[in-house]
Amino acid sequence: MRLTTHRRYRRIRAAAAAVVGLACLSVSSAPAGAQSLKGSKSSLDLQNRVAAQHDFTFIRTSAQARRFVDLGYLVRVRSGAGYELKRMSHPYARPEVELFISRLGSQYRAACGENLVVTSLTRPTTRQPRNASSRSVHPTGMAMDLRRSSNRSCRSWLEGVLLSLESAGVLEATRERNPPHFHVALFPEQYEAYVDRRMAAGQDQTDQAYMVRRGDSLWSIARRHGTEVSRLRAANDLRGNQIYAGQLLTVPADR
């Protein structure tokens, strides 16, 4: 990865932190069509093709991973607002992956009331688990594993976002079973351009998803998000004030 790209990422990262908006796409986005989370040979082909287009190295050892951090090709990722890292020996990733996690984690927390859990980032080829594909792009630093929540509504929300982003052509995601997680391969240049477009169009100032928690009322949700009960009702086609825990609501943004 070129160092100019790294500096460009820092500019986008700083600008993204200054706005309040969706991590990726809202849950009310258009259907993802033919996209799925089942994984396939063609999906692996695409991930490897994108890695080659970016001229990414498949990192072999822990020492090489640390050297890539020193050179600025990878960044150290730390737990932040809305997300946390678990059981990770190599908390490094391409800069755009860190940007993606920070944006997704913030929105996931707002929608679900729990943190997004990242269980794997860069994995050198000599440190891959036995069940990993020999064509995994984890060694390039462009992939991550996200734990599948035990909360059905949270799983549904995250799957919707990942499918929407697959449709947008900025990542490939696969639902894995052992252990239960989502493998996500992010396409850095495509994602960087996607964030640029959203920020230029002001689309980061948009509606948010919120999962109703026990004890919530429309009034308390409206107050928390700086909006009005009438706008919440209109955005969610509600005739009265009745809501229930686990319900996903759209919180309208200021226009």
pLDDT tens string, the chain, 255 residues long: the values are: 444 455 555 555 555 444 333 444 433 333 334 567 988 999 999 999 999 999 999 999 999 999 999 999 999 999 998 999 998 999 999 999 999 999 999 889 888 889 999 999 999 999 998 888 899 999 999 999 999 999 988 998 899 899 989 999 999 999 999 899 999 999 999 999 998 887 777 655 556 777 788 888 999 888 887 888 998 888 888 888 888 877 878 887 654
Let me know whether 235 and 168 are in one domain. no
Do the beta carbons of residue 174 and residue 39 sit within 8 Å? yes
Let me know whether 134 and 52 are in one domain. yes
Let me know whether 149 and 216 are in one domain. no
The whole-angstrom distance between residue 200's C-alpha and the CA centroid of its chain comes to 20
In a domain, 84, yes or no: yes
In a domain, 206, yes or no: no
Q: What is the pTM of this model?
A: 0.75
Q: Could you say which of 200, 221, 240 is where a domain stops?
A: 200
Let me know whether 73 and 162 are in one domain. yes
Let me know whether 188 and 78 are in one domain. yes
* CATH number where 220 lies: 3.10.350.10
Q: What domain range includes position 230?
A: 212-251
According to the 3-state scheme, what is the secondary structure of the chain? CCHHHHHHHHHHHHHHHCCCCCCCCCCCCCCCCCCCCCCCHHHHHHHHHHHHHCCCCCCCCHHHHHHHHHHCCCEECCCECCEEECCCCCCEECHHHHHHHHHHHHHHHHHHCCCEEEEECCCCHHHCCCCCCCCCCHHHCCEEEEECCCCHHHHHHHHHHHHHHHHCCCEEEEEEECCEEEEEEECHHHHHHHHHHHHHCCCCCCCEEEECCCCCCHHHHHHHHCCCHHHHHHHHCCCCCCCCCCCEEEECCCC
Let me know whether 226 and 121 are in one domain. no
| Total domain count, the chain | 2
Give pLDDT, residue 10. Answer: 55
Let me know whether 108 and 189 are in one domain. yes
* CATH number where 191 lies: 3.30.1380
Let me know whether 13 and 107 are in one domain. yes
Let me know whether 8 and 107 are in one domain. yes
